Amino acid sequence: MTLLTTLRGRLFALLAVLGAVTAAAVAGATYFSVRAEADALFDYQLRQTALSLRDQGRIAGDEAAALADPGLDYVVQIWSLQGLQLYSSRPRGLTEPLPGRAVLGFSNLRLGGQDWRVFGAATPLRVVQVAQPLAVRQRLA
């Protein structure tokens, strides 16, 4: 007598399949939930970086060197309201700068063949944009 011909065997097989489906559904829901939380955390980090730079005066040489660290995966651009670029960083391999027109708040753009998440903030004195490649965010998440 095989296992699936008895009522006990069929019930066990059904419960095993239901358990596997439930475990897969919970794993998928957990993955997407944690991914959304990681995206929110990365967005918060972009926002805080931009907000920390919006009220400073001119970027000093040592501050510019810290922002230009090739280990950072951010691009920072700061303009005066007259359109004068006060500071711009570029990671290795990126030949084109962020667009000269900042979208305030969060946006996505394609730059240098990859997708970027950008946060723009404006004050009465300047406009700050901070961007990070989406590939870096996905790898870190």
Q: pTM for this one?
A: 0.68
In a domain, 25, yes or no: no
pLDDT digits (tens, 9 = 90+) for 94-140: 666 677 677 788 988 887 778 888 898 888 888 888 888 888 887 87
Which domain range does residue 101 map to?
34-140
Q: Is residue 117 part of a domain?
A: yes
Give domain status of residue 51, yes or no: yes
* Sign of the alpha-carbon torsion through 132, 138, 140, 141: positive
Assess if residue 62 is contained within a domain: yes
Q: Is residue 10 part of a domain?
A: no
Domain membership of residue 104 (yes or no) is yes
Name the H helices within 54-133: 61-67
> Which tokens sit at 12?
């066990």
Summarize pLDDT for 43-97 with one digit per residue, the tens.
998 888 888 876 665 666 666 666 666 666 778 888 887 878 777 776 666 666 6
Q: Could you tell me if residue 27 is inside a domain?
A: no
Q: What is the CATH number of the domain that holds 45?
A: 3.30.450
Give the contacts of 67 (CB within 8 A, at least 6 positions apart): 59, 74, 76, 87, 89
Q: How many domains does the chain have?
A: 1
